[in-house]
Amino acid sequence: MKLLHKDIEKDNAGQVTLVPEEAEDMWHTYNLLQVGDSLRASTFRKVQTESTTGSVGSSRVRTTLTLCVETIDFDSHACQLRVKGTNIEENQYVKMGAYHTIELELNRKFTLAKKSWDSVVLERIEQACDATQKADVAAVVMQEGLANLVLVTPAMTLLRAKVEVTIPRKRRGSCTQHEKALERFYEAVMQGILRHINFDVVKCILVASPGFVKDQFISYLFKEAVRQDNKTLLENRPKFMLVHSSSGHKYSLKEILSDPTVTSRLSDTKAAGEVKALEDFYKMLQHEPDRAFYGLAHVEKAADSLAIDTLLISDKLFRHQDIPVRSRYVRLVDNVRDNGGNVRMFSSLHVSGEQLTQLSGVAAILRFPIVDLSEAEDGSSSDDE
């Protein structure tokens, strides 16, 4: 993401002009947008024209509209963002108050204006525009007949390809069918890697599976690379790393990223940091439950007691369209930061973010145990039920 212009007043109202440069930037933009914001961007509009003879025709024209945002739709697989709203500025093609849907495009600037820019939104812009955040990891999570090719970026986990091939069982006295199917499977996975992984950006490719599937695949991959004289694969051989996983499904990514050997290799990536923070929370919950809280009410009271060392919070909570509720989460983040605590913002498109969402989306590791608070909360929660 590129920041072209930023104009924010003392009362936090103002506007920014940004250019999304890659698919992931659409996810950042989705997290910046809220109902009631104003969005100015280039778009297409179908316009009806009447000729001198009276015949009516229609054509698509490119125009720049300013919408008051009403609905925001993000497709996480295609990384497409559509914003629907009413036109709030005079335009030769579109009447004031008329509805229009803008599909934001890569490398085309847009201007976003808000009545109030809070600390979380401003931090999201900084994160999106920081080139050092692009320390990408790719993972091939596989088992016999199934492989998931995943890209792990700082903001999201993207499933790039899923390979499924039926592998017949070995027959007594003949394994040819089994071996041919395996070869077809490995070939499909290899083509997926070549098609979807940009070796200039990706620092590490994790190949994970139960048993020896990963080892057999890697030996096939580089044997084929030598045979085909594929320089891209041969030059990037050191980037491949073999890891054990319990299955070939996408959810195994969490156990892969929490593997100590992987963690040390990926120490500079945000995804690994999120996984470690969540693991630390679970360990604390198991061994010292009075120092691990989750749920907004618990965590807020711990923050008021200046007890929070690390706050784990899902970015999903900041997309809440009810402004008072959203402000409550922003206040919590600011409160923890002001009192010297760490804040870990989890992406809801990461495996770790999905897990945190199941824990209400907010959790905290405390500096010191607070026994009375948890007991009091347990009492009040049972009363509520």
Q: Give Cβ neighbours of residue 100 (< 8 Å, ≥ 6 apart).
A: 43, 45, 65, 67, 84, 85, 86, 87, 94
CA distance 35 to 38: 9
CA distance 170 to 174: 7
Domains defined along the chain, listed by start: 2-129 (2.30.30.870), 136-268 (3.30.420.60), 271-366 (3.30.1330.30)
Query: Taking a C-beta distance cutoff of 8 angstroms, is the pair 243, 262 a contact?
Result: yes
pLDDT at 155: 67
pLDDT category of residue 67 using cuts at 50, 70 and 90: very high
Strand partners, 141: 148, 208
- Please determine, for residue 384, whether its predicted confidence score (pLDDT) is greater than 50: no
CA distance 206 to 146: 16
Residue 85 φ/ψ, nearest 5 degrees: -175, -175
pLDDT category of residue 326 using cuts at 50, 70 and 90: confident
CA distance 60 to 64: 13
pLDDT at 159: 84
pLDDT tens readout for residues 208-265: 999 999 999 999 999 999 999 998 899 999 889 999 999 999 888 888 888 877 776 6
Query: Taking a C-beta distance cutoff of 8 angstroms, is the pair 28, 106 a contact?
Result: no
| Average model confidence (pLDDT) across the chain | 85
Taking Cα atoms as reference points, which of 302, 320, 299, 313 lies closest to residue 123? Answer: 313
Residues 17-41, mean pLDDT to the nearest whole number: 89
Read off the pTM: 0.66
pLDDT tens readout for residues 315-325: 888 888 777 88
Write the CA distances from 169 to 75, 166, 177, 217, 339, integer angstroms.
Answer: 38, 10, 8, 18, 60
- Please determine, for residue 125, whether its predicted confidence score (pLDDT) is greater than 80: yes
What percent of the chain clears pLDDT 70, i.e. is strictly above it? Answer: 91
